[in-house]
Structure 1
Amino acid sequence: MTKLSVNVNKIATLRNSRGGDTPNLLKMSTDIQEFGGQGITIHPRPDERHIRYQDAYDLKPIVYTEYNIEGNPISKFIDLVLEVKPTQVTLVPDAIDAITSNAGWDTKKHKDFLSEVISEFKRNGIRTSIFVDPVVEMIEGAAKTGTDRIELYTEEYASQYALGNKEAVKPYSACAQLSIDLGMGVNAGHDLSLDNIKFFKDNIPGLLEVSIGHALISESLYLGIENVINMYLHRLK
């Protein structure tokens, strides 16, 4: 079964909008795991507009499933990850002012930098993953960095699937198989939802984990978070 890691950024956004502690991020993260979520993902950004850096430390004793921290490996982020030591770190090439992640790494251009950062994380026992577009050359480049996994950036798939274009999954399928052939595990994330997740999972070989936040939290406003988590788990079997 593909694991479901729930990105709790949107819960932190709602909390921050009133300046208090409602909803409580730690309680929600605990509940998500009790409802069946198999991991918690956070993506702190330098302006801390949703997840705060302190949240990463506070969540450490709370997360008893898999703990995934995503972000651009600037110095502050690297220090955070090395101190918290999550299960997995996912490297994302976010611009400082990015609203959300909008591109994967150019793994050829940034090979030396990624290799250095990944080596440091792996020396500290942290599994590594690189956010990449479904492009053969980028998968091949990722393999040369020493990363444990890739995370396929799925926005294009989600957009095309919504238009009825199921052929859009094919580059993802091919890149997932190539990743496996090159010795890397396969994760995926971005704009995956209850509508498109089953078709994606059924067509991606060896899919180990999906990280879903915006859609899952939005769907939960209508259907309830415990119900939604179990709906995802059913689709990911």
Structure 2
Amino acid sequence: MNANILVIEDEVKLAQFIELELKYEGYQVSVAYDGLAGLSAARESNPDLIVLDWMLPGISGLELCRRLRATGNMVPVILLTAKDDVSDRVAGLDAGADDYVVKPFSVEELLARVRAHLRRTTEIDPDERQFADLSLNRRTREVFRGDRAVELTAKEFDLLEYLISHPRQVLKRDQILENVWGYDFMGDSNIIEVYIRYLRLKLEAENEKRLIQTVRGVGYVLRD
């Protein structure tokens, strides 16, 4: 499937030009014209890459980037700006931007950088699963909350892997039982609640934000 790119740019003509060029290259493109709309779009549409203007109404591109990174969103961000001082470049990178294109720019340069960053993201380990600041590797069976390693038992890991493989989806108790414990499980029906409690204790050991949410009468969901 073609990559989904979000363009956040308040200069309407420039935004439309970038949108047309990206669509011509085969990408799916959505556009936001101010910082708050862009932040909402970035969180809701889960794009593969963001082309982000520095100077935006609402909140700046830098602030938008900081907010994304603060929630663990590591989508590649290419910053567009007329600022070309070294201090400005450093500020952009410190805010979490992956790259920097100075206006006026050639569309060929922008497209080349888009291709490069999308290529890098497709080279990410397919065994890696990430949600917010939580990461899990199915091959090594390692789990991290930010930089903190989290030691899990085999069944705790299996449960977390199932949840992180279906982010933001409400998973019913019988779904979890079938996929984590197996169709023939004949044990205590409260086993899910017990293991959810174990996971929460370990994932929130240093007062981190709760990610495993209870949906009363239904099941559980991994979400902010």
Same fold (TM over 0.5): no
Per the normalisation by structure 2, the TM-score is 0.32
Which is higher, the Rg of structure 1 or of structure 2?
Answer: 2
> Higher relative CO (CA 8 A, sep ≥ 6), structure 1 or 2?
1
More helix by share: 1
Per the normalisation by structure 1, the TM-score is 0.31
